[in-house]
Amino acid sequence: MRIVLLLLVSLLFNNCYEVERDCAHFKTGTFEFKTLVGTEMLTTTFTRNDTIEIDFFRGKADTSSIRWINDCEYIVKKLNPHSRAETKSIHMKIISSKGDEYIFEYNVVGNPKKQKGKAIKIN
């Protein structure tokens, strides 16, 4: 009987928890994304409006188009790709947010392997 009661209470509390996703807050602005590559922490800063995103990485700027699928998902495609890999579109999905930070997952369109990252809105 105790096990059933504990299970019901556990289900009750788990069903009340809802992940925050204020995607509209992140459609435009300037953001920072940090990632660890080997032993080096690399930072990308990007500015996004409704249709264009400009990335700044290691002193170089790169522009991509954005096509919003819904409030939390969009497709990014480089406007001036420098390699065959850069011609592929990236699917981005905001999966949670808190304050000025959001967690997202992304993958090359058509590739099921997804990766996660965190971006911080700095302006």
Reading the block at residue 83, the tokens are 């390699």
Cα(92)–Cα(118) distance, integer angstroms: 12
Question: Are 95 and 86 a contacting pair, CB within 8 Å?
Answer: no
For 43, the enclosing helix (H) or strand (E) is: strand 40-48
Give yes or no for residue 26 having a pLDDT over 70: yes
Of all residues in the chain, the percent with pLDDT exceeding 70 is 85
> What are residue 36's DSSP bridge partners?
41
Question: What are the start-end ranges of the E strands in 1-123?
Answer: 29-37, 40-48, 52-57, 60-70, 73-78, 90-98, 101-108, 115-121
Instruction: For residue range 86-120, list pLDDT tens digits in order.
Output: 999 999 999 999 999 999 999 999 999 999 999 99
Give yes or no for residue 30 having a pLDDT over 70: yes
Class of the CATH domain delimited by 19-121: mainly beta
Q: Which residues contact 11 (CB under 8 A, 6 or more apart)?
A: none
Amino acid letter at 28?
T
Q: What is the pLDDT of residue 37?
A: 84
Amino acid letter at 16?
C
Domains in the chain: boundaries: 19-121
Cα(55)–Cα(53) distance, integer angstroms: 6
Q: What percent helix, strand, coil does the chain show, rounded to 5?
A: 20, 55, 30
Instruction: For residue range 48-75, list pLDDT tens digits in order.
Output: 998 999 999 999 999 999 999 999 999 9
Residue 13 pLDDT class (50, 70, 90 cuts): low
